[in-house]
Amino acid sequence: MTTTDTGERRLTARQAQLLDQLEELFLAEGFARFTLEDLAVRLHCSKTTLYALADSKEQLAVRVVRHFFRRATEAVEARTAGEGDPARRVTAYLEAVARALTPASRAFHRDLEAFPPARAVYEHNTAVAAQRVSALIAEGVAAGRFREVHAALVADTVTTLMLRIGRGDTARATGLDDAAAYRELAALLLHGISR
């Protein structure tokens, strides 16, 4: 059985399993300190097997970060799709983002921040999430559930806070973990735009 990873070459079941294991490892411990040899030992595979996923450790890190965000996006969208009420959809979306990011350790965020190609993946996904929040708000305005707001400004504000949450700035400034910060963001946003 094969699967695809973001439209790239087909993966074997073993390669898909390795990507999942790498994701779990990187989320828990970060990725910068590992060599390919370290990863091969931890995952009980050969370096050749890892080279089949990416041509270098750096490319492997980026691939795993993309894999994480693709799966997180699928989970967030699945959770959001079940809500019909615009206010509950915004809350469900932000809470699902919080849930998806919960496994990401400080080490993972620190390594994302320090490695520009991985940081670019994070920032792209954050921008997409903010656009999604903007669209959800626009739907709520159209349905009469939210007051008229400047959706782009709201999305920009949400993006800024999402980036701060992801970098750990919000935790350092407030003591809130990421999940709690996203719940507070959802509450703040809904109280600010509700009729």
User: CA–CA separation, 79 vs 64, rounded Å?
Assistant: 23
Distances (CA, A) of 148 to 1, 100, 131, 160: 49, 30, 17, 21
Q: Is the pLDDT of residue 1 over 50?
A: no
Does a structural domain hold residue 93?
A: yes
Task: Answer for the pair 72, 101: CB distance below 8 angstroms, yes or no.
Answer: yes
H helix or E strand, kind and range, residue 189: helix 178-193
Q: Give me the number of domains the chain comprises.
A: 1
Cα 95 to Cα 101: distance, rounded to the nearest angstrom:
10
Looking at residues 45-63, what average pLDDT do you find? 95
Contact between 120 and 88 under an 8 Å Cβ cutoff? The reply is no
DSSP 52: T
Q: Is residue 147 part of a domain?
A: yes
Cα 167–chain centre separation: 12
User: Does 165 reside within a domain?
Assistant: yes
Which residues span the domain enclosing 175?
57-192
Average pLDDT for residues 76-96, to the nearest whole number? Answer: 88
Nearest CA to 79 out of 7, 182, 177 is that of: 182
Strand (E) or helix (H) holding 11: strand 11-12
- Domain membership of residue 32 (yes or no) is no
Evaluate if residue 7 carries a pLDDT over 60: no
pLDDT tens digits, 171-189: 899 998 877 888 888 888 8
∠ CA 151-126-61, rounded to 5°: 170
Asked whether residue 8 carries a pLDDT value surpassing 60, the answer given is: no
pLDDT at 2 over 60: no
pLDDT of residue 9: 62
Within 53-150, residue ranges assigned H as helices are 57-81, 86-101, 106-114, 116-142
**Which CATH number covers residue 127?**
1.10.357.10
pLDDT for 131 equals 85
Residue 146 reports pLDDT greater than 80: yes
What is the DSSP pairing of strand 2-3 with strand 11-12? antiparallel
